[in-house]
Amino acid sequence: MQTDLTIKQAVQPVQTDLSKFDTGSYHAGASKLKVLVWYFVNYYFFNSAFPWPYGIKSKLLRLFGAKVGVGLVIKTKVRIKNPWRLVIGDHCWIGESVWIDNLEDVMIGDHVCISQGALLLTGNHDYKKSDFPYRLGKIKIESGAWIGAQTTVCPGVVCRTHAILTVGSVAAKELEAWTIYTGNPAEPVRKRIIKE
């Protein structure tokens, strides 16, 4: 009986142990006070149903270290983790309920549309380790790209110029320029052609 138990224990794989998780060497990129103050600003001005003017939101983002171009349209219920890790170009649109979960840098070019409910996800966890540590990757969305509604852009992904990620799709790898992607994981379906 004791031998059977010992054999079972010997062949059991190592299991996830979330009690061992810590952030390791990760740092938010700002002081604890700045992170705390941003929490309240984000809650009351960005993740709010009240339609604060776009200009006020742009100024607040800049105040907290984001690089923001001109003409930003940023709707209600938007969540931004760390504005000091955010670059937004000129004339971009950020739709309702977009979540920029930027534990790492997110760079958005000019004339980019990020539609409602999209998730820009710069971090996940290393499932091969029992303590489930962070795995982070920067996201870059080049000029003219369109990130559709209810989509997810995964850590480390680059969306090349004028690429489109269609509704509900998941970008787990680079999106080529001037190409339309759909599905989970997103795959190319055709070229993007813009007509005057």
Whether residue 50 lies inside any domain: the answer is yes
Q: Tens digits of per-residue pLDDT, 7-33?
A: 555 567 888 888 888 777 888 899 999
- Global pTM reads 0.89
HSE-up of 182 (CA within 13 Å, CB side)? 7
Residue 105 lies in a domain: yes
Task: Read off the pLDDT of residues 58-109 as tens digits, 9 standing for 90 and up.
Answer: 999 999 999 999 999 999 999 999 999 999 999 999 999 999 999 999 999 9
Range of the domain at 181: 30-191
Domain count, the chain: 1
Q: Assess if residue 74 is contained within a domain.
A: yes
Judge whether 14 lies within some domain.
no
What is the C-alpha to C-alpha distance for residues 46 and 125, in angstroms, rounded to an integer? Answer: 27
16 in a structural domain: no
Residue 116: CATH number of its domain: 2.160.10.10
Mean residue pLDDT of the chain comes to: 93
Residue 94 domain flag:
yes
In a domain, 23, yes or no: no
Residue 8 lies in a domain: no
